[in-house]
Structure 1
Amino acid sequence: MYQVVIVEDDPMISMLNTRFTEKDGRFHVIRTFEAGNAAWEYLRIHAVDLVILDVYMPQMSGLELLHRMRAAGVSAEVIMITAANDSETVESLLRLGVADFLVKPFSYERFRQALDNFCRRKEALRGGSVNQQNLDRLFVDAADPIAAPNLPAPKGMQAKTLEHILEFLSHTDEQYTCEQISEHVGLSTVTVRRYVNYLVEIGRVQSEINYGTGGRPSIVYRRM
């Protein structure tokens, strides 16, 4: 599970960001801060995976905090959430390696897309080496509005059904059989099996064989 810190001076927005983040079972918010100074004191000695950071805050701006993080070698990825949308600010943040940039007000779907892109990068870089397919997932899929977040549906399949199954798997890091997915999404096991096998083919879902059932081994699926 990815460890997340949220830095936002508005308590209501901070609470909203926390709720949005923890709707996705791959993430856990371990701390929230209302000021950049307190966040910096924590981040310089604690390793986290992701920081969700506002630009305009008291004591220390998000841009200054990000400068300090990078200068100190803090490798956590950063998603900026702010009302700032001038090109100079955006360019400065991109030079500092911001993973995504969301302008208030934003939708939950756009927020979830930022989390999905973060997980896609982590998965593609896992294992210490990358191939062309992994690089394409990093750079091509993230830039393609059809590949992410919308899914291309082959003949005989419905895009909404693909997204429905993928949305269910996105909210947990557990593994499920086709029968278990069927119970949660309200589709037949045969239909679920056909759709999840396609999602495996296009690299959006991972399948494994579970030998620990005590009976016949079963195939289980989880979101990548």
Structure 2
Amino acid sequence: MIKVLIVEDDPMVAQLNKRYVQSVEGFDVLGITSNGDEALGFCKKTEVDLIILDIYMPKTDGISFLKELRKRFMMIDVILVTASRECQNIDAVLKLGAVDYLMKPFGYERLKKSLESYAGRYKLFHDRGMVEQEDLDIITKKYRENNDGGMIKGLHKKTLERIRGLMEGNPGTYFSSEDIARKTALSKVTVRKYLEYLESIGEVKLEVEYGDIGRPSHLYKYFETTC
């Protein structure tokens, strides 16, 4: 069982993340702390394999906490789950050894995918004495990039880039699946499938509009970054 600590100052988000994590087979949440100071104290007393960590917190923030962990040679794996889109923050935590970075708001499937990927990595390094190159390729970003970026079966890279390019080129604009289908000459069913994928990995934001009559409208906006 992979032992998890959640470090999040928003109680509702922390409980939601706990339910998400515990729904994935092989993971057990041992505790929740609201800042880096509490998390450091927890890690001193309790063996933890993985930390689900926010950046923006009172007292000791996520980056300072991660630096302190490494200073103390506490090589606990970390997945960042945060609203921060600042390149400097992302670069810092990746250099400090974060195994993944999820931008809020993200879909359950994106977190599940991250945890399942981590479980494969954990099993590889804990259950075997030696590994082969092929084993390492499976858990590296280079492998995922050479295999259509780890996309789910049935999606194609060129179609994804077509939809992504349209949305990325119109920052701040909300699109319906009908809008994108019309502009890309794709079917609404196809577009909806790709939008759901982009939403699940945290690249687009979903807004649901409820009108007086008929079904609610699903609108999608591409996340802008400061890079």
Per-residue Cα deviation, 1:15-68 (whole angstroms, up to 9, x for no partner): 110010011121000100112211111112322110000001111000011011
Amino acid in the other structure paired with 1:6: I
Query: Where in structure 1 do 4 or more consecutive aligned residues deviate above 2 Å?
Result: 123-126, 140-149
1:146 deviation in Å? 4.4
Identity over aligned pairs, percent: 33
Q: Name the CA distance, whole Å, in 1 between partners of 2:148 and 2:20.
A: 23
The DSSP-based 3-state class of the residue aligned with 1:101 is strand
What does residue 122 of structure 2 align with?
A: 122
Once the two structures are TM-superposed, the CA of residue 73 in structure 1 deviates from its matched residue by 1.2
Equivalence for 2:36: 36
Contact 1:79 1:102 survives alignment (8 Å):
yes
Q: What residue is the counterpart of 2:62 in the other structure?
A: 62
Cα RMSD of the aligned pairs, angstroms, is: 1.9
* Inter-partner Cα distance in structure 2 for 1:147 and 1:95: 21
The offset of 1:124, in angstroms, is: 2.6
Counterpart contact for 1:56–1:82, Cα < 8 Å: yes
Contact 1:8 1:14 in 2 (8 A): yes
- Structure 1 match to 2:80: 80
- Please list every run of 5 or more consecutive structure 2 residues that lacks an aligned counterpart in the other structure: 156-227
Q: Output the amino acid matched with 2:7.
A: V
CA–CA distance in 1 between the matches of 2:44 and 2:134? 34
> What's the counterpart of residue 213 of structure 2?
none
Distance 1:105 1:66, change over 3 A: same
1:150 aligned onto 2:156: no
Q: Distance in 2 between matches of 1:72 and 1:46?
A: 15
The answer for the alignment partner of 1:205 in structure 2 is none
CA distance in 2: counterparts of 1:49 and 1:98, whole angstroms: 13
Q: Report what 2:71 is aligned to.
A: 71
Other-structure match for 1:51: 51
SS in 2 for 1:47: coil
The residue that corresponds to 1:23 in the other structure is 23
Residues in 2 aligned to 1:145 and 1:32: alpha-carbon distance in whole angstroms: 36
Match for 1:148: what amino acid?
A: G
In structure 2, what is the Cα distance between the partners aligned to 1:43 and 1:98? 17
The residue number in structure 2 matching 1:202 is none
Letter in 1 for 2:52: I
How many residues are treated as equivalent by the alignment?
153
Provide TM-score, normalisation by structure 2: 0.63
